[in-house]
Amino acid sequence: MHKNITGVIAKMLAVTLAVGTVGTAVPADDANAAAKPKLSKSKVSVNVGKKAKITIKNVKAKKVKKLTVKSAKKAIAAVKKNGKTGFTVTGKKAGKTTVTASVKVGKKTTKLKLAVTVKAAGPQNNVLPVPSTAATVAPPAASNAPAASVTPPASQTGVPPASQNPGGDGTPGPLVNYTEDFENGEGDWYARGNEGCRIEITDEAHEGKAALLMTGREGEDGKGHAWNGPALDLTKSITPGGKYRVSFWAKIPESEAGEAWGNRLDLMVSSAQYYSQEDKEEDEANEGGDNLHCENYPRDTWYPIKSDEWTKIETEFSVPDYFYEFIFYIETTERNGRVQFGKASFLIDDFQLERIAAPKPFDSTLTGIKDAYASHIPTMGVAVTYDQLMNENTLGFVKHHFNSITMGNEMKLDELMGTNKTLMITDEAAAGYVVDDAYKACPDNKDADGNVIVPEIRFSKMDKILKIAKDNGLKVRIHSPFWHSQMPQYFFTKNYTEYKDDPSSATSFPERYTDKETMYTRQEMYVRTMLKHIIDGGYGDVISSYDVVNEYLHMQFKSGKYTNYWQCIFGDKDLNSPYVKKAFAVAHDVLKENNLRDKVSLIYNDFSTYDIVDSVVSLINNMNAKDDEFNPNGEKICDGIGMQSHVGVEKPGAEFYEAAIEAFHKAGFEIQITELDVASPTVTSETSEADKTDAWKKNADAYAAYMNAILRQKAAGANITSVTVWGITDASSWIKDSSPLLFGENVSDKKPSYDAFIKAAQDFGK
């Protein structure tokens, strides 16, 4: 407002002088001096890893035709634009440099200089030591929100007040109980979002005289984002692996009750984590969030709020076992792409965060699961996440009980190709890709200039996982690149173009998708590139199994509407599926060429296999049958079946389950139990002790029944080579309310199911 008034006064003075003073000219430069762009600061000092925001004054964004910013020494300080009237400086290493901002307004470009001093960072209050088995940490899974977020002001510590956490010496201790009623301001909260997002204190309160208003969420581009919301940086205070209960009251402000979103808005409780400084810097340099891992609590749960009354929101969540940065925030949902949900303002009040469980060391005196089963089944594995492997206590638990790991998401295609970027094969960055003449000949594998391109595959996290496994004597199951879910759309389109549509778009835009022959070349490129990378990296001896294709027999096709991208090109499922054969044939050939075929099992993985025994047998037999195009010698390119085994205490029942194992045995298949968990009656914080005890007993009895069925079939000659439990604890399970695993809240919380699991092996045959 002040700048506008100044401009008007300046123009009025110029006119008055021109009319009232004959023969006297006012120099244009003098008249417009007030409008000359300048920086909010001429010099700035930041610590390594910290940021400083600089704005460009005396000019409106809409007047700026172009802004460029450059750091003279990028190794000392990186710089990133914030719209057209600002930029952020990030300290990289101690030293001094100069940042130059060139602002073009009309035909005139003004160069502005900022002196930057970067100071060495002080000691880090690291929440958790990095295990010695991993020299560096790696990026998390694909995220649901960009990395472009407003950094907390330098005056904020990002840590709840020390007085609310036991620290003794005044430094923040583990966060046990944090409350904020906003009566004395916004406290440690800040606005996570684009330029323009802000938090304010308002008197439209739940109780007392103040509440926090999140507003300005539409951003300068007018689009808004669901993830723009009030946030807390809890990196240095929240307990890794801990469990928390969060509650607060929320409401749509009365001033927005009549807007497009009406009288209802859906909130989500979320967190965002980086696992390393390197990952964060990479995202900032690329202006994207490929390494940012975001979660909702519970997953994809919406909390509706209204404008005419306050609504209490309460939930529980478990903190990852490891993180470099942990941001708690509240966001909205964008249902059906309705962007207004990213623009809406909302209020929160009377916030409380309470720790209800803290991790304890695992009990190393317990019998190791792998040891109990050593004389029965050679490989006993567990599904893990990267953050769990980075936690020394959890890694110790894994090593004590298991000799194999399966990554839940980190080796899936949407994780490895999550950048949606392409590389020309002539680029140095594309070294290591295996691209044959057939691939190069396909027009859809080229860019607009005719250059052969490949999707960017990020192996950095996978490499670190493989290193941890090798250093700790663990085998790895590759799970699972090709299936009908978690597939990047651009892997299936012409010229790797990303449209961000769901698969049903193929009925409206079939011209976007490539053809079968091109997809065969892409399958071959990916499988060969991935396996070559693993083998050349020295990890060929770490891989024990490869889930080449996942859940093919459970693809769906509804009334002409595609439900996955494979169907856009190949149509509905077929027990002679050519692309399934192609994937196995290529993997088989690569392993043969590297003398690893007898060391790595190639597995078809699926759920509810006991319901589709005949289809599984036909599919695998068809793959292994002689086929002039994919299997000309009739080799065994698929070793067998991965029975996911997400079972319940009642269904399918151990007898029915055992019959399926027997059928696969008679078919001559290798059998791997790949994703074992046993769903029980729901157990939550509200469940009585009696009901919880009953649920856990039913779970233990079911585990005993299923494991005895597996052991009986193994003794009868079935080639059962591995059993993988699908998760470490109930708290981290994908169906945690069903209390499906052998340990409860943490790795020290042994359940009766563990005892039953061990007893089944120890007593078998007696």
- Catalytic residue numbers, as ranges: 551, 675
- Cα–Cα–Cα angle for 215, 217, 219, rounded to 5 degrees: 130
Dist CA 234 CA 598 (whole Å): 48
DSSP 718: -
User: Under a CB-based contact definition with an 8 Å cutoff, are residues 329 and 230 in contact?
Assistant: yes
User: Cα separations (Å) of 726 from 47, 239, 379?
Assistant: 43, 24, 14
Dist CA 606 CA 265 (whole Å): 38
Nearest Cα neighbor of 253 from 183, 199, 291, 202 is 202
DSSP 59: S
User: Under a CB-based contact definition with an 8 Å cutoff, are residues 242 and 355 in contact?
Assistant: yes
The β-bridge relationship of strands 646-648 and 670-679 is parallel
Dist CA 309 CA 250 (whole Å): 9
What secondary structure, in 3-state letters, does 575-610 show? CCCHHHHHHHHHHHHHHHHCCCCCCCEEEEEECCHH
Tokens for 557? 């096709």
Nearest Cα neighbor of 120 from 81, 98, 94, 147 is 94
Q: Catalogue the long-range contacts made by 466-470 (C-beta closer than 8 Å, 24 or more residues apart).
A: 466/534, 466/537, 466/539, 466/542, 467/133, 467/134, 467/539, 468/131, 468/133, 468/134, 468/389, 468/395, 469/405, 469/539, 469/542, 470/538, 470/539, 470/541, 470/542
Half-sphere exposure for 61 (CA within 13 Å, toward CB): 13
What secondary structure, in 3-state letters, does 235-283 show? CCCCCCCCEEEEEEEEECCHHHCCCCCCCEEEEEEEEEEECCHHHHHHH
H/E run at residue 677: strand 670-679
The β-bridge relationship of strands 720-725 and 670-679 is parallel
Q: Is 429 helix (H, G, I), strand (E, B) or coil?
A: helix
Nearest Cα neighbor of 519 from 421, 427, 586 is 586
Dist CA 732 CA 746 (whole Å): 9
The residue with tokens 């199994």 is 545
